[in-house]
Amino acid sequence: MLGLVAAALIAINLYTDWLQPLRERLAGFVAPFYWVTGTPERVGDWAGEQWRTREELLEENSRLKRQVLLLEQRSQLLAAVKAENTQLKELMNSADTVDERVLVAQIIGISPDPLEHVLLIDKGRDDGVELGTPIMDASGLLGQVIEAGDSSSRVLLITDASHAIPVQVLRNSVRAVAEGTGDLYRLKLRHLANTSDIREGDLLLSSGLGGRFPAGYPVGEVISVQRDPGRAFAEAEVQPRGRMNRSRFVLAVIGDRNDSLGTE
């Protein structure tokens, strides 16, 4: 009897999304488990922070100051480029601009299931995170939110075997779809035309097609292309840019999609 109920639950869960609201409601119950099991790591981090010498701190401080200077200079450049871009888009009478707000979130847990690449982060609906919110770290896209609770959410990484993201090559805007492989350090481009111009070392950006991810964020770098004349399609292996396994803090990109032009 209970077996039947469980089987029914599984079926409902797999083939519909009726249970999604329930799971999101119960996220508040789930998060404490990850918080508790994450305690040793947090204590370790805290201890590491506490027992640093003055020299180390000073050195880090000056390094950060240099970095801020560099980044500020770059962001000034960017502002000019952005203004120019908006102007050009207005001239061409095209395309919406996306105004993005970024939220820093902390990873509080990783899924215990080795078959899925899912993270738990400490931000939820209360902070503006929604279903499908893109998550990235300093170097590239990590994934998207698949379950948003009130104050925590689950993030599916782009390397999960069930994930795929539309991308384009930075060099020439060739489009493709990068699929997760279940390996934390590999994505795959399947079904590339044999003649398509993709090379080793090409940087892939999110293309924004499909409407889930904003355009222009780095996804990964092509590390090898296999062209087999006997096969209908070429394949390419991609190393993701985001550090799937190492990030501690991530950024949630909360986009207010504006149809009006020229918003800053």
Question: For binding to other proteins (CB under 8 A), which residues are involved?
Answer: 2-3, 5-10, 12-14, 19, 23, 26, 29-30, 33-34, 36-38, 41, 109-116, 118, 147, 154, 161-162, 182, 184, 245
Closer CB to other proteins, residue 57 or residue 115?
115
Closer CB to other proteins, residue 29 or residue 93?
29
Bridge partners of 192, per DSSP, are 234
Q: Cβ of residue 3: shortest distance to other proteins, in angstroms? A: 5
Q: What is the distance between the alpha carbons of residues 236 and 17, in angstroms, rounded to a whole number?
A: 33
Closer CB to other proteins, residue 155 or residue 176?
155
- What are the backbone dihedrals phi and psi of residue 113, each rounded to the nearest 5 degrees, phi first? -85, 115
Q: Cβ of residue 106: shortest distance to other proteins, in angstroms? A: 14
Q: Cβ of residue 240: shortest distance to other proteins, in angstroms? A: 15
| 249 closest CA partner among 101, 103, 34 | 103
Tokens 């880090």 belong to 60
Calculate helix-pair angle for 27-37, 39-50, nearest 10 degrees.
50
Full DSSP string of 86-125 = HHHHHHHT----EEEEEEEEEEEEE-S-TT--EEEES--G
Closer CB to other proteins, residue 22 or residue 92?
22
Closer CB to other proteins, residue 123 or residue 154?
154
Quote the DSSP letter at residue 126.
G
User: Residue type for 215, please?
Assistant: A
Quote the DSSP letter at residue 54.
H
Q: What is the distance between the alpha carbons of residues 166 and 141, in angstroms, rounded to a whole number?
A: 12
Closer CB to other proteins, residue 154 or residue 241?
154
Q: Cβ of residue 214: shortest distance to other proteins, in angstroms? A: 26
Q: What is the distance between the alpha carbons of residues 157 and 140, in angstroms, rounded to a whole number?
A: 12
Q: Cβ of residue 147: shortest distance to other proteins, in angstroms? A: 8
Q: Cβ of residue 18: shortest distance to other proteins, in angstroms? A: 10
Closer CB to other proteins, residue 33 or residue 172?
33
Q: What is the distance between the alpha carbons of residues 201 and 248, in angstroms, rounded to a whole number?
A: 27
Residues 34 and 108 sit within 8 Å (Cβ to Cβ): yes
Q: Cβ of residue 263: shortest distance to other proteins, in angstroms? A: 36
Q: How far is CA 28 from CA 20, 110, 117, in A?
A: 14, 16, 21
